[in-house]
């Protein structure tokens, strides 16, 4: 087990030689009031350079990450993130600018944002964009606020947002945060929205519908055009949760399917490392009739220069402090520019191919409730292993022993013992085969040696955690 870095510390040990202080203590006292001066030394670890390097290298391999191994965490699109993105986002012209600098000195940054908005509109088939939201869920909230404003501008106060029972939890929570109530739509036996249920529930009290397409089962909503029409007949707004955009790039887009608003998880589809809760970005794009409600300030171009304009009287206002998560935008810009529309279409085709390969190969041993051609992910189930006393959680924990991250488990809620697999396009057939072999071995163990599954994982730095206790009995400790 790796120690806390303070445990390597001993008095006087040094990792770097610093130049002599450029100003004397006396000079400092002339400029900084006594009350603000530190009375005791700062408590920093005193360690050598190799100790620092080894400490952080060891820590970085204790957890699983995309650069270490396969990460088929469904719905999260844990693809490999090209290092060139980081390199370019780290260029001084991007990394060292300040959000409050005069606009004339950040023209390049504003132009990048302006162009990225245009690219995202083209890729989603929409008219206008905002880059402000800091996550997919934040994009949802922004979108739902726009839906609210759209109806209010017409003097209507609508109460409900419709959401399918297969939806990601952020959809109802975004609707609720914007003071809507939610109504759940049933899924039919094919795993898609039940049109009759939609017909019944879609009234003039409903402000809009939020759906994920492909849905969280990895299935394309086959009747999407009809769904959109039904909502539009009642002047509702149709929001597409775009977290699964990795399946659609260059093939079809929310605009062509009739949606009015969509969000894009830049950190998922457009490759920013996002395991461990790192920065995200969830721009939304909208159709023309909703453009005036977008958050301000917006980047505009006039006389060949770029500026931030707040001259949008119908805007819902700001949804973030400054520009948004700029570094994530740069990475997305690099990724989209490098691949171009043909490359992006390849991304989606390969993501779909990889998912279907795994689905067909795993179907021998694992239950797959909606087993037909899927998009970029599919949902298997541990249901037929339950009679052997094995839960999906046991399967997920055992996978860690093979150096593989587990798929998403117990989501979506409409599949019992769900195992949601999203391989992404960046994995080779050899890697996919390794995953299949591990799953087949787990299936054998379930029949022959179930205890090895109950006790898993065996090889990770920590064994099975008490997740309930971790949630109920939060204990955050700081090193003094």
Regarding 243 and contact with ligand PLP (CB under 6 A), the answer is: yes
- Please return the burial class of 446, using the count of CB atoms within 10 Å of its CB with bins 0-12, 13-18 and 19+: buried
Give the tokens for residue 76: 């999260």
Q: How far is the CB of 135 from ligand PLP (least distance, A)?
A: 4
**Minimal CA–CA distance to 178: which of 203, 150, 199?**
150
Where does this chain touch ligand PLP (CB under 6 A) — which range of 129-137, 153-161, 334-342, 419-427? Answer: 129-137
Residue with Cβ nearer ligand PLP (280 or 324): 280
Does residue 214 have a cis bond before it (omega within 30 degrees)?
yes
Residue with Cβ nearer ligand PLP (76 or 110): 76
Among 194, 197, 221, 241, binds ligand PLP (CB under 6 A): 241
DSSP notation for 27-65 = HHHHHS-GGGS-SS--------HHHHHHHHHHHHHHS--
Residue with Cβ nearer ligand PLP (212 or 348): 212
Q: How far is the CB of 257 from ligand PLP (least distance, A)?
A: 16
Among 187, 216, 262, 285, binds ligand PLP (CB under 6 A): 216
d(CA 63, CA 44): 25
Regarding 354 and contact with ligand PLP (CB under 6 A), the answer is: no
Q: How far is the CB of 246 from ligand PLP (least distance, A)?
A: 10
Q: How far is the CB of 140 from ligand PLP (least distance, A)?
A: 7
d(CA 41, CA 243): 48
The residue with its CB nearest to ligand PLP is 136
Regarding 137 and contact with ligand PLP (CB under 6 A), the answer is: yes
Residue with Cβ nearer ligand PLP (239 or 333): 239
Binding mask 251-280 for ligand PLP (x = CB under 6 A): --------------x--------------x
Q: How many CB atoms lie within 10 A of CB 17?
A: 5
Q: How far is the CB of 133 from ligand PLP (least distance, A)?
A: 9
Q: Which residues of 396-418 are buried (b: 16+ CB within 10 A; e: fewer)?
A: bbbbbbbebbbbbbbbbebbebb
Q: Taken in order 29, 35, 40, 43, is the CA torsion positive or negative?
A: negative
Regarding 170 and contact with ligand PLP (CB under 6 A), the answer is: yes
Regarding 135 and contact with ligand PLP (CB under 6 A), the answer is: yes
**Minimal CA–CA distance to 320: which of 308, 330, 331?**
308
Q: How far is the CB of 216 from ligand PLP (least distance, A)?
A: 6
Q: What angle, rounded to 10 degrees, do the helices at 170-177 and 136-153 form?
A: 40
d(CA 114, CA 184): 37
Residue 220: C-alpha distances to residues 192, 212, 217, 256 (Å): 8, 9, 9, 14
Q: Taken in order 219, 223, 226, 231, is the CA torsion positive or negative?
A: negative
CB 257 within 8 A of CB 251: no
Residue 57: C-alpha distances to residues 2, 41, 54, 61, 80 (Å): 10, 28, 5, 7, 20
Q: How far is the CB of 105 from ligand PLP (least distance, A)?
A: 31
Give, as one character, the DSSP assignment of residue 123.
H
Among 55, 168, 331, 359, binds ligand PLP (CB under 6 A): 168
CB 263 within 8 A of CB 282: yes
d(CA 265, CA 280): 7
Q: How far is the CB of 295 from ligand PLP (least distance, A)?
A: 17
Regarding 212 and contact with ligand PLP (CB under 6 A), the answer is: yes
Number of residues this chain uses to bind ligand PLP (CB under 6 A): 13
Residue with Cβ nearer ligand PLP (246 or 356): 246
Where does this chain touch ligand PLP (CB under 6 A) — which range of 101-109, 130-138, 198-206, 449-457? Answer: 130-138
Q: How far is the CB of 120 from ligand PLP (least distance, A)?
A: 15
Chain positions 75 to 94 lying near ligand PLP, rule: CB under 6 A, are: 75
Q: What angle, rounded to 10 degrees, do the helices at 107-124 and 326-362 form?
A: 30
d(CA 168, CA 370): 18
Binding mask 363-392 for ligand PLP (x = CB under 6 A): ------------------------------
Residue with Cβ nearer ligand PLP (74 or 255): 74
d(CA 137, CA 346): 27
Chain positions 275 to 294 lying near ligand PLP, rule: CB under 6 A, are: 280, 282
Q: How far is the CB of 275 from ligand PLP (least distance, A)?
A: 12
Where does this chain touch ligand PLP (CB under 6 A) — which range of 134-142, 328-336, 395-403, 455-463? Answer: 134-142
Q: How far is the CB of 136 from ligand PLP (least distance, A)?
A: 2
Regarding 136 and contact with ligand PLP (CB under 6 A), the answer is: yes
* Binding interface with ligand PLP (CB under 6 A): 75, 135-137, 168, 170, 212, 216, 241, 243, 265, 280, 282
């Amino acid at each position: 087990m790796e120690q806390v870095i303070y445990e390597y510390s001993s008095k006087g040990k040094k990792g770097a030689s610093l130049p002599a202080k450029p100003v004397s203590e006396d000079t400092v006292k002339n400029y900084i009031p006594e009350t603000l001066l530190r009375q005791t030394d700062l408590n920093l670890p005193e360690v050598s350079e190799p100790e620092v390097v080894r400490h952080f290298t060891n820590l970085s391999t204790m957890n699983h990450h995309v650069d270490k191994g396969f990460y088929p965490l469904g719905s999260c699109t844990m693809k490999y993130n090209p290092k060139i993105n980081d390199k370019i986002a780290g260029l001084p012209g991007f990394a060292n600018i300040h959000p409050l600098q005069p606009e004339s000195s950040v023209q390049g940054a504003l132009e990048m944002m302006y162009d990225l908005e245009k690219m995202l509109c083209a890729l989603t088939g929409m008219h206008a964009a905002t880059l402000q939201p800091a996550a997919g869920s934040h994009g949802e909230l922004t979108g739902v606020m726009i839906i609210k404003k759209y109806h209010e501008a017409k003097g209507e106060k609508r109460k409900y947002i419709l959401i399918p029972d297969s939806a990601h939890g952020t959809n109802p929570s975004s609707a609720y945060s914007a003071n809507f109530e939610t109504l759940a739509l049933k899924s039919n036996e094919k795993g898609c929205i039940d049109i009759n249920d939609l017909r019944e529930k879609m009234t003039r009290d409903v402000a809009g519908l939020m759906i994920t397409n492909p849905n969280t089962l990895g299935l394309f909503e086959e009747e999407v055009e009809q769904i959109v029409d039904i909502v539009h007949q009642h002047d509702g707004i149709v929001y597409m949760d775009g977290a699964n955009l990795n399946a659609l790039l260059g093939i079809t887009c929310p605009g062509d399917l009739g949606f009015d608003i969509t969000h894009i998880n830049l950190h998922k589809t457009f490759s920013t490392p996002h395991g461990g809760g790192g920065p995200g970005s969830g721009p939304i794009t909208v159709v023309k009739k909703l453009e005036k409600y977008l958050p301000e300030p917006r980047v505009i171009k006039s006389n060949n220069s770029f500026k931030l304009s707040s001259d949008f009287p119908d805007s819902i206002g700001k949804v973030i402090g400054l520009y948004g998560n700029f570094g994530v935008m740069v990475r997305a810009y690099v990724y989209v520019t490098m691949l171009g529309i043909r490359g992006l279409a390849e991304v989606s085709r390969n993501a779909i191919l990889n998912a279907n390969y795994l689905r067909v190969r795993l179907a021998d041993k694992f239950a797959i409730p909606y087993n037909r051609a899927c998009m970029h992910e599919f949902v298997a189930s541990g249901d037929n292993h339950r009679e052997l006393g094995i839960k999906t959680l046991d399967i997920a924990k055992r996978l860690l022993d093979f150096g593989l991250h587990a798929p998403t488990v117990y989501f979506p809620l409409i599949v019992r013992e769900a195992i949601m697999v999203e391989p992404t396009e960046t994995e080779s057939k050899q890697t996919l085969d390794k995953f299949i072999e591990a799953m087949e071995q787990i299936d054998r163990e379930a029949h022959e040696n179930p205890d090895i599954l109950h006790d898993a994982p065996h090889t990770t730095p920590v064994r099975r955690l008490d997740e309930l206790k971790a949630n109920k009995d939060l204990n955050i400790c700081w090193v003094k």
